[in-house]
Structures are given as structure tokens and as C-alpha cells.
Amino acid sequence: MNLIRDCLYSEKESSCSTVITGYLDHFESCAFEDVGWGCGWRNIQMLGSHLLTHHWAKEVLFGGVGFVPDIPSLQQWLELAWTCGFDEHGAEFYQFKIHGCREWIGTTECAALFRSFGLRARIVDFSSAVRKLENGQATIDRWFQRKVPESGNAQNKMSVQLPGTNKIHLNVECDACGAYPIKGKRYKSKKKENYDLCSSCILQETKQQDYEELTSCRSASLKQEAVKDENVNHEHLIKWVWDYFIDHVSSPVSKACLDLFQGHIATSGSTPLYFQHQGHSRTIVGVQRRKKHAASNEEVFLLVLDPSNKTEELLQSLRSKRNWQKLIKRGVHTLKKRSYQVCYVEPGIAEGQELQELKILKSEHFYN
């Protein structure tokens, strides 16, 4: 985070205000290990690395070992959380078995794992659709359990453009490598809803019979896909993230300076945010507001760490202060999905009745 802070100061942008979280490590998805399915686990590792800097969390987290476990160990911890009764609904989906499996996970698995250590992990759901009610409350949307592909840069580099294929499938993303739009042949899953592969990724698919090649670039389903995420508005999300980070800026003077748009950078005591949307997850480590002059519209940028970025490339970019913005900053215009979720951890350890209540996952909802 010190490197990110240095880069923010180097911008020499005096008309902005920025708030960032404290220390954490970046974890990347690795080829031949977890590329294509491991982004959720990597974000848990990032959040875990931050939590270990807090004495109240370090004593209980991961059995008090003092370091962030690897993915297989995290999978075992999650199975233990399920066995202890945390998020039984999610456990049933995975049939109480995830260790050794290449399973996509989301905010509920993140929350269940951390809650099993007594941490107050919370989920917030930002959506433009009304959710089904259970006992008078909106349910947690678990679309990430139906389809959470990894849009990793590492796999983008391995993509191959086959000769003689010049079709462009507008507004359709490859759900394995993240290539957007799909160029050439497109293969649509017969079993997974709204799941497509490009011509490169179909070659790596073990069950090719479960896919059909689409010969038309402009089918009815494509038209639906082209408009499904248009005109989304996530003002609630942006406002919530800003308020979340500034609420834990301890210095009143520092907090007041954020309203002046004079290049101030404040450090928040809030934990980073596990940031999930359908297709990928990342970690939000801060937010920046920019206003070029009094009459101009305000611009907002989320500061994120993406497990699909290589750690060494990220470090080189931050140290050289070159091209780091494209790896860290995400403008509001990039928030094109209809639903997003965040998971965060409140300070303190739950015990007794409070710990028992944490076994049932609920989320706070904001509808746009």
C-alpha cells in the first residue's frame, strides 16, 4: 500500500481526495494452479493478509498460525466452517466438499470462512433487481455459485487467434479466459446458463460435447445479452464504498481535508473489500474522488487489486510509477454489471450468542 500511496502522490493531481486502507499483500492466480477458478480464494488471501495486521484477528485467524494459508488449506478451513454450521445453505450446494476441487466461490464462502473464526464478516448486495424473499427478508444472491469465471490477464496472453475466423460476437465475453468480445468461433454451453467459450478455450474443455457452436453473431440471445447490462447505475455502490472507508479515518483533520479536493490522501482503518460480480472478483483497497474545478462533474475511481494481474508486473509498474493506473484504478464507467457484492470484516471477535447468529448468512441490500 505504501507503493500505491507513493504513486498517488506522484500524480500531482491537486483536485482530488483519496482514502486507502492499510497494509495488505497482493496474491496472483497462477498458471497450472488456479487460473480460471481461483480468484475468490486469492481475494480471501489478500483480505487475510490485512487482517493479520490487527491483533484482535491475528490471535484467532487460521488457528493463530500468523500467516496466510495456501488455497488447499483455505479449502479445508472452509469445510471445517461448514461442519461447524456456518452457511449450511452454501455447504449443501457444494455437498460439504470443496477441498481439492476447482470450484468457484463468492462472498458467502468468504464470509463463512472468516465467521468461523469469530470475525464479523458482513455482505452487502448492490443490485438493480428485486430478490426473492425468505421469511420477509431478501435472500443473498448466489449467482456466483452458478457461474463465476475468471477473467484473468494471464489467460488472455495464452489466447490464440485461429486463422480464417473473422466473426466478432459483440458484447459476448469468453467465460474462461475473459477475451472480450469473442472473435472467431463461439461455443455456448448447453448446461450452464449464459456461459460461452472462445475457440481457444474450447480446445482445453474436457466435455466439448456440452457445447454447441453458434454460427450467427446476431442471434436473439445475443441481442438480449447486448442490452442486459446497459443503463445500469451504481451510485449507491460508489457512495457506500466512499462512506465505508472515510468512516474509519481516525483523524478529524484528515477527514475534513477530504472534502476540500486538494490532493489529500487519508488512511482508513477499514478492512479491504472483497468485491464480487458475475464473472470475477477483486479486492477494493481505496477510492478516489476527483473534481477538476468547482463547476465540473465529480469523477470517482475505485482502487482495486486484481488477482489476475501478475504480482511482479504490478510491483514493477508501481515502483517505476508507469502505467500503474490501468492496473489499479477503475472508473465508475467500468461498473457495467447489474449486480455487485462486497464482503468486509468489522473489528472485534464474536462470542456466545452472537457467534451462533453469525452461522446464518444475511446481507444488506441496495437496489438501484
Residue 262: which CATH number?
A: 3.90.70.130
The string of pLDDT tens digits covering residues 203-233 is 877 788 889 998 655 433 433 443 445 567 7
pTM of the model: 0.76
202 pLDDT more than 60: yes
- Where is the domain boundary, 173, 193, 227? 227
Q: Same domain, yes or no, for 306 and 235?
A: yes
The Cα 228–Cα 166 span in angstroms is 25
The string of pLDDT tens digits covering residues 282-319 is 999 999 998 876 667 888 999 999 999 999 999 999 99
> Cis peptide leading into 163, omega within 30 of 0?
no
Q: Same domain, yes or no, for 139 and 270?
A: yes
Q: Which residue has the higher pLDDT, 198 or 191?
A: 198
Q: Same domain, yes or no, for 130 and 242?
A: yes
Instruction: Look at residue 223 in the predicted model and tell me its pLDDT.
Output: 36
* CA distances (Å), origin 235, targets 63, 128, 221, 282, 302: 39, 11, 29, 19, 13
DSSP 39-76: HHHHHHHHHHHHHTTSHHHHTTGGGGTSS---HHHHHH
Read off φ and ψ for residue 88, nearest 5 degrees.
-65, -30
Running DSSP on this structure, what letter comes out for residue 96?
T
Region 117-130 average pLDDT: 87
Instruction: Look at residue 338 in the predicted model and tell me its pLDDT.
Output: 85
Kindly state the cell numbers that stand for 266: 487519508
pLDDT band at 90 (very low <50, low <70, confident <90, very high): very high
Range of the domain at 188: 153-227
Q: Which of 96-100, 103-107, 218-222 has the lowest mean pLDDT?
A: 218-222
Q: Same domain, yes or no, for 202 and 235?
A: no
pLDDT band at 145 (very low <50, low <70, confident <90, very high): low
Q: Same domain, yes or no, for 198 and 299?
A: no
Q: Same domain, yes or no, for 76 and 162?
A: no
CB 286 within 8 A of CB 20: yes
Instruction: Look at residue 179 in the predicted model and tell me its pLDDT.
Output: 67
CB 289 within 8 A of CB 16: yes
Q: Same domain, yes or no, for 30 and 142?
A: yes
Please tell me the total count of domains within the chain.
2
Q: Same domain, yes or no, for 358 and 247?
A: yes
Instruction: Look at residue 334 in the predicted model and tell me its pLDDT.
Output: 86
User: N- to C-terminal Cα distance for the chain?
Assistant: 32
Q: Same domain, yes or no, for 249 and 174?
A: no
Q: Same domain, yes or no, for 175 and 267?
A: no
Q: Same domain, yes or no, for 23 and 102?
A: yes
Q: Which residue has the higher pLDDT, 85 or 228?
A: 85
Q: Same domain, yes or no, for 304 and 344?
A: yes
Q: Which residue has the higher pLDDT, 235 or 81?
A: 81
The Cα 337–Cα 127 span in angstroms is 9
- Where is the domain boundary, 201, 227, 253? 227
The string of pLDDT tens digits covering residues 148-196 is 333 333 333 333 333 344 567 765 777 777 665 687 889 988 877 667 8
Q: Which secondary structure element, helix H or strand E, spans residue 277, and what is its range?
A: strand 273-277
Kindly state the cell numbers that stand for 28: 496472483
Single-letter code of the amino acid located at 91: A
- Where is the domain boundary, 200, 227, 254? 227
Region 75-100 average pLDDT: 96
Q: Which residue has the higher pLDDT, 192 or 257?
A: 257
Q: Which residue has the higher pLDDT, 225 or 74?
A: 74
Q: What is the mean pLDDT of the chain?
A: 84
Instruction: Look at residue 147 in the predicted model and tell me its pLDDT.
Output: 41
pLDDT band at 78 (very low <50, low <70, confident <90, very high): very high
